[in-house]
Amino acid sequence: MRQTIQNLKGEIEFREKLSRQHVTGENLLPDYYQKEQHDEILRRRVNDTLQRMERLSSRGVSLSPFLELGAERGQRSLILANDFEAIGVAIDISYHQLRTMDHFSKIFRRERMPIRICCDANHLPFRSHSFPFIFCYEFLHHFPSLKPVLQEIFRVLSNGYFFFDEEPFKRWLKVVLYKQNTKMYSQRARRKNQYFSFFESFISEAHCDEIEHGIIENNDISLTEWLEALSIFQERELELASVYDISSKINDRLHLQNIPNFLLGGQIRGLCRKSSSAGDNMWVDIDDRLGCPDCAIATFDGSFDRPPLIKLSDGYKCAQCDFIYPCRDGIIFLLPRAELQELYPDV
């Protein structure tokens, strides 16, 4: 299962409102974080990302070239590009959020920019085996099924690592009796007693702007689905975290130490390894790794690759179908042509 065109339209509409609210201060989403609150949240994320990437680097994980999925404002890609001098690409379905990276790069004093590409993760516009490091935060749960998007990630990953964090897994101790009448990011919700909020989360369904806009919030992904979808990677280190710092590591199946997390739900983090002799981890020019999101070519091992793109003065042309993909404000649009016309008709 993949996102529908309506899901993607809702994502773009919502992210456009967010981009304006968090850059200009307009109050377009009154029940969401306002500009000052959002800036502080991003500062914490910048610091957390810096610490996490330092730990990965110290373990021998090569951070360059990198691909960030669902990059939004790009604060995490800015860390890699500036603090680690990595080259890489930040992608998102939202052109408007990617454009705000200009603004946030100045706020966080990290002005070296990654390549920005507006695309659909179901049709990653890259040649196979292109990146030794791919990562994402709070991204995979926006898909109705993990397997298709993880297969695309696996395809473009070369001999290297895929890291993900802050993804939800299903809570089994839950019975939904009602839907909460306050949105989860509103000031009213944040003023609730923390113990009441904790109890309420076991008996109610959360309410948020994302769902109202038609965005998929797949917070009930079972651990079985996670393990099955991630089994394509040769090596996996997975960690579960629940409330009150209850955590455990999980292997290929559930063990006794995982039961508290299994019952309480929470977040899953993973570092997955792909061992492959294919691909060149030392590329410098991203143009050599771009591929047409609409076309496929067969490979010797029975899988598929994407045909290369030819750089033009105002965009990129597919070497196979001759379709020209545009650029605007330094952002490359590499969506399948039907999606491009449907989602961004004015580009």
pLDDT for 320 equals 95
CATH number at residue 321: 3.40.50.150
Ranges under pLDDT 70 in the chain = 279-282, 302
* Radius of gyration from C-alpha coordinates of the chain: 20
List, in sequence order, the alpha helices (H) in 92-193: 95-99, 101-107, 146-156, 187-190
pLDDT for 279 equals 61
pLDDT for 198 equals 86
**Residue range(s) defining the domain that contains residue 55:** 5-343
Question: CA 314 to CA 320: how far, in whole Å?
Answer: 18
Strands 309-311 and 315-318: antiparallel
Cβ burial, residue 63 (10 Å; 0-12/13-18/19+): buried
Q: Kindly state the tokens that stand for 101.
A: 């990276």
Instruction: Let me know: does 97 contact 313? Beta carbons within 8 Å.
Output: no
Across the chain, mean pLDDT equals 94
How far does Cα 121 stand from its chain's mean position? 9
Of residues 127, 135, 131, 188, the one with CA closest to residue 160: 131
pLDDT for 300 equals 76
Question: CA 135 to CA 77: how far, in whole Å?
Answer: 10
Instruction: Let me know: does 235 contact 273? Beta carbons within 8 Å.
Output: yes
State the total domains in the chain: 1
List, in sequence order, the alpha helices (H) in the chain: 5-24, 35-58, 75-83, 95-99, 101-107, 146-156, 187-190, 194-200, 209-212, 223-230, 259-264, 337-343
